[in-house]
Structure 1
Amino acid sequence: MRLTFDIIDEQTARYILTWRYEPPYDFYNSDSEKLESALTTLLNPENCYYSIWDESRAVIGYCCFGNEAQVPGGDYSQGALDVGMELRPDRTGKGQGTQIIQAVIVFARQNFQASKLRVTIAAFNQRALRAWQKAGFEIVKEFVKAADSQRFFILMGYFV
């Protein structure tokens, strides 16, 4: 699978905000009342959002780097580049996660010169946890987000 990354544009951002996941993954659905705010976040160049395209030029996901990939309440004091990633709902659970994560790692290393990457994943999302662990990441911390009592794991990956 050959993937490409582009800085997210408005048309792609609006498309991504329409994605809907089945429970329990509906946790990731965009709030329809806050779409304009979410659009502004995705399009802000300081937030480092990138669309992920497959070889047929279909958007299969997106990723972000830096503070936007952090979850309030986590301890991010150890230096690392934070990574966030979301796949299109029909691409989840198909066994492609690790391959897509590997492409995100390569992209991050090439474009941000990162040797340590960090990802924060909701504890219920066992599919994502397994995929990131297969890609070489290890759980280093666990915390509860005060706003909604959701448990999260922070994972680190080290690359030379």
Structure 2
Amino acid sequence: MDVAHAREICGWQYEPPYNIYGWLPWDQLEALGVEFGDPKIREEQYVSVVNDQDVLCGFAQLFPVEPSVVRLGIGMRPDMCGQGTGHLFVGAIVQEALRRYPDREIDLEVLTWNQRAIRAYQKGGFTITDAYERQTPTGVKPFYCMVYQK
């Protein structure tokens, strides 16, 4: 992911209830040096997803959780969400994760209410394997862990 894509992603505005997936403004994210505001993390963990016209469609974080697991964080451009192409988007991200980490399990976490994302992940080959609650910036929330079935 390059800085231009990172800056663009920070400007994305999601409609409620998906607005929880928005980012801080780029200048703040960069100043704090967190997530893709940290050049090292951006280079090692984040990838931009572009279409064949080189238009930014979204991003992914490929985060090594342990030696045998890589966890995906996925974000699609707001105007592309809900159009029925999420499974293709997820598929492209999975292929990159498999290329980089061929021997690791691939998983992700998703809020249990986000049925739109869950359907895309299921169509993309993921299965719900666990349910739990964890702390978020807005309090404790219920999550599913979903694992890619190779």
Kindly indicate whether residue 22 of structure 2 is the aligned counterpart of residue 29 of structure 1.
yes
Residue number in structure 2 paired with 1:123? 112
**Whole-angstrom distance in 2 between the partners of 1:11 and 1:23:** 26
Structure 1 pair 78–12 and aligned structure 2 pair: CA distance change class (3 A): closer
Residue number in structure 2 paired with 1:153? 144
Q: Deviations over 1:54-82 (max 9, x none)?
A: 01111000001115xxxxxxxx7794211
Kindly indicate whether residue 60 of structure 2 is the aligned counterpart of residue 63 of structure 1.
yes
Ranges in structure 2 where 5+ consecutive residues have no aligned partner: none
Structure 1 pair 105–135 and aligned structure 2 pair: CA distance change class (3 A): same
Taking only the aligned residue pairs, the percentage that are identical comes to: 26
**Whole-angstrom distance in 2 between the partners of 1:158 and 1:78:** 18
Q: Deviations over 1:113-152 (max 9, x none)?
A: 2452101111121111011111221111111123411211
CA contact (8 A) 2:29 2:35 kept: no
Q: What is the TM-score of this pair, normalised by structure 2?
A: 0.85
Q: What is the TM-score of this pair, normalised by structure 1?
A: 0.80
Q: Which protein is richer in strand relative to its size?
A: 2
Deviation (angstroms), 1:34 = 4.3
Alpha-carbon RMSD across the aligned residues, in angstroms, is 2.2
Deviation (angstroms), 1:109 = 0.8
Kindly indicate whether residue 43 of structure 2 is the aligned counterpart of residue 54 of structure 1.
no
Structure 1 pair 113–156 and aligned structure 2 pair: CA distance change class (3 A): same
Aligned-partner residue type, residue 13 of structure 1: A
Kindly indicate whether residue 73 of structure 2 is the aligned counterpart of residue 84 of structure 1.
yes
Structure 1 pair 78–117 and aligned structure 2 pair: CA distance change class (3 A): same
1:44 maps to which of 39, 53, 61: 39
Structure 1 pair 22–39 and aligned structure 2 pair: CA distance change class (3 A): farther
Structure 1 pair 39–60 and aligned structure 2 pair: CA distance change class (3 A): farther
Kindly indicate whether residue 85 of structure 2 is the aligned counterpart of residue 96 of structure 1.
yes
Kindly indicate whether residue 13 of structure 2 is the aligned counterpart of residue 16 of structure 1.
no
**Whole-angstrom distance in 2 between the partners of 1:45 and 1:129:** 30
Aligned-partner residue type, residue 155 of structure 1: M
